Chains A and B, each alone.
Chain A
């Protein structure tokens, strides 16, 4: 379940960043704090970004920073961060990035069902409206919980 991979402490609203690197480091910070990823995992994402470009900007305004499990993914988890000011990542079709879903995906495949729920959320306009307007992490948790329960 998606809800099992997210927690209020992994959600941050209106973070401030001026560059993709800054945005990724800030978005990943709670996952490091909570022991979901090692710090080198974040360095791995930045390195891959510099080598390959913004390969994880997957839909308009949304980035899913992640890298290979062996680079320091400890537990399956998803962090959600919204940016106060959108940042261009260099992905023509989907820039500017407003929302970062930092993904810690271990070799253990238990996050696969959660990703299916996430894919549904990505098609849900009211979810993005909520991200835009939410005043607290709790609102976002509640929304995800409600949606997943209703099997929407």
Chain B
């Protein structure tokens, strides 16, 4: 599959608190922007693949979205893998295009949990609610604790991820939270569920995002010059109950990355820039380690010593990630990866050859990996 499919265009709305906006209207705005970016008419889109809206799951959602886009696509689907769904959909689009089911797909997402309901993130978790087991953040707090205890990790190692994300988001005019975060402020941050601090947790944002996936061949025929090749992808899934995972400090993200590296013919040493799903800081540390980008237990030390800014050893989440650009689940990371490879990112890394992007859902339940190359 290496290089057979490309990302032909990207688009998104402003992120943050967007009162009065409908989630499907946000998708339409992002689609309009992605079509303009690719330079293709929306009638070219014969696939519409949408990530289920976290705050409002519904039946036949893909068809509702296609109707709002004025399309009767050949291929349509809505997927629920939590935050891993966007990259999963991009990979399914690439394969369906290769198989001849369609030629050009819109992969999209829009939601309004900031102005609407955040109840999904606070809900009781099954029968374990009798013990007070509530909220998405609690699963991450369990994982954060296990990691911290295993490696005797100083709090600054988690803080390094949040501080750098906010430094990057400060430069992003479309971003949700544009405010520097000094390490002292991170360390003093309020705890909701120990050991998580406020700034270990991502934003909750309204917004829409979309990318257009097509074959490298069609992109060439249409004269889309900045088409970004998809070099590899992979997935890995964990148990529903966080507490049943044999080792809380690692996940199937490692398998997801191995699959993507094998397809791309690349290893972690050849990754020039990374956009890693930072719903919580511990997720980034574990993903760096599962991806082979830092030694086990040392991702935070690596970030502090080697640098994760645009000039650092591993430029990471260069548009601010979920901690600063937008809490929307993951497509913004793909879009920033595409921009880095095209060379038109705001905090541009010098001449990158490969970008790895992670998406993950739930409390590290699902994981998907995407490796992007430079336009030829």
Partners in one complex: no
Partner-B contacts on A (CB < 8 A): none
